[in-house]
Amino acid sequence: MALGTLVIIATMLVYFLLRNKRVLLSQKQRGRRGRLPPGPAVLPIIGNMHQVILNKPAVFRWIHGLLKEMNTDIMCLRLGATHVIVVTCPQIASEVLRKNDEVFASRPTTFASGIFSFGYKGSIFSPHGDQWKKMRRVLTVEILASSMERKLHHLRKEEYEHLVRYFNDLLASSTSGPGHDEVAHVAALFTALNHLYSFCVSDYFPALIGLDLDGHEKVSKDAMQTINRLHDPIIEERMRERSSTLEKGPRDFLDVLVHLKDAEGQPMLSLEDIRAQTAEMMFAAVDNPSNAVEWALAEMMNMPEIMQKATEELDAVVGKYRLVEESDIPQLNYLKSCIREAFRLHPYHALNVPHVAMADTTVAGYTIPKDSHILLSRLGLGRNPKIWTEPLEFQPERHLNTANVLLTDPGLRFISFSSGRRGCPGISLGTSMTMMLFARMLQGFTWTKLPGVKSISLQEGNVSLALAEPLVLQATPRLAAHLYI
């Protein structure tokens, strides 16, 4: 499979290069402009693409192995004509997202990102331009503004209560669990996330789109078909209601998107805009909170003293006569430290969403050519032994050095929520969702290992950094019965 793929790449690129020698000339000219970051030796035309293919599906493990072998915090790969720069140092990451943020404010165009953004109609995956600016403004001003977050608090509260009730009903065997469509929806979202920016061959050799050499195109289309099947009827129904006024305010963020108007009083967003932003809201919310909470619980099951400290904090701050609320989060510093440590040590994605250089620039003294892809390594930053003592150990106490523990790190020693122009505008909402999931589970139930299980396996998966096997625990209610109703 790998050798056959390489033959196709080489054959097609030789054909294109014979027709257009300017490609090689452009690469030579770029090479003379300055010194690129260090990297492995490259082959003519394909660069390091053969190594990427041979190391699939866990390309990120090969990349981080190279970084360690070369003892460098910044590395340059060449995939076709594209320079891919990987960064594992907070100071260099700050140069990218702070000093040179304006230069790196674009995104690459790939098959998967194009499919999942409905042709770059949303805010996360769209290249820099008017559409991105419009949708980014919609997100920050309309959807994720603090005023809207307060307005929609009742919806989150309903879900928090549903969570506790759901676990309790499972214990009582009075619920059958999620339905077929719910399972399919979550599976499609994770499939989409796992195929975004996953070093697909055609992302670097667009002439190969349609051959589906990696099998990514079919998987991406199938995932998007499921998402559209479940999202579209709801969106279309809301679109039909567009002419009505919202006398009682928006029911949810979809209402906000549908009813936005421009200066002339016309609908601001098209159907494709709304489909794209709805999907992106789902993509942004589904992976990091669930992964961080699962890893935190797994680590804590092997270190009962950490679990005890967390439950003692909940009992001291909240008590056992009411359920924890969002307003309690500022006082739950130890719980926040546990989640912060999970974000540091166990990110879901090894690499951040790529940034694209819109001009030639310099980072850490190295030349970064225009159109380079910049990847900040969540794994490399969070586990960097130059920054963290005992970086592979789960130690929440290392974060208890401030009166108000935050889930973000301004120094970019790890990445939980992206920063800069392309950063996450939903840090407050993401913090609330993650912390309330974690806090309600710890407050509502005592968690124990299954009979016969001495310790929880902390083995990572091959393709992602998620637990290789889903965490399975026993739960026992620890609060008064009326709080679960």
The one-letter amino acid at 226: T
Q: How many Å apart are CA 286 and CA 281, to the nearest integer?
A: 9
Contacts made by residues 145-152, CB under 8 angstroms, sequence distance 24+: 146/428, 148/250, 148/253, 148/256, 149/428, 149/429, 149/432, 151/249, 151/250, 152/250, 152/252, 152/253
* CATH number assigned to the domain comprising residue 157: 1.10.630.10
CA-wise closest residue to 124 among 132, 231, 347: 132
Q: How many Å apart are CA 445 and CA 164, to the nearest integer?
A: 9
Strand, coil or helix: 193? helix
Predicted confidence at residue 391, as pLDDT, reads: 98
Predicted confidence at residue 13, as pLDDT, reads: 52
Number of domains in the chain: 1
Q: How many Å apart are CA 195 and CA 27, to the nearest integer?
A: 28
Predicted confidence at residue 26, as pLDDT, reads: 40
Q: How many Å apart are CA 36 and CA 23, to the nearest integer?
A: 18
Q: How many Å apart are CA 79 and CA 199, to the nearest integer?
A: 9
Strand, coil or helix: 244? coil
Predicted confidence at residue 9, as pLDDT, reads: 53
Question: In 252-358, which ranges are continuous DSSP H helix?
Answer: 253-259, 271-286, 288-301, 304-317, 333-345
Q: How many Å apart are CA 428 and CA 425, to the nearest integer?
A: 8
User: Whole-prediction pTM value?
Assistant: 0.92
Token pair recorded at residue 316: 């001291």
Q: How many Å apart are CA 366 and CA 42, to the nearest integer?
A: 18
Q: The domain containing residue 347 runs over which residues? A: 2-484
CB atoms within 10 A of CB 465: 18
CA-wise closest residue to 136 among 272, 258, 236, 273: 273
Q: Which segments of 317-433 are extended strands (E)?
A: 355-356, 361-363, 366-368, 373-376
For the chain, 485 residues long, give each residue's pLDDT as a single digit of tens.
Answer: 445 555 445 544 553 454 444 344 344 444 445 799 999 999 999 999 999 999 999 999 999 999 999 999 999 999 999 999 999 999 999 999 999 999 999 999 999 999 999 999 999 999 999 999 999 999 999 999 999 999 999 999 999 999 999 999 998 887 778 899 999 999 999 999 999 999 999 999 999 999 999 999 999 999 999 999 999 999 999 998 876 666 667 889 999 999 999 889 899 999 999 999 999 999 999 999 999 999 999 999 999 999 999 999 999 999 999 999 999 999 999 999 999 999 999 999 999 999 999 999 999 999 999 999 999 999 999 999 999 999 999 999 999 999 999 999 999 999 999 888 999 999 999 999 999 999 999 999 999 999 999 999 999 998 889 999 999 999 999 999 999 98
Predicted confidence at residue 105, as pLDDT, reads: 97
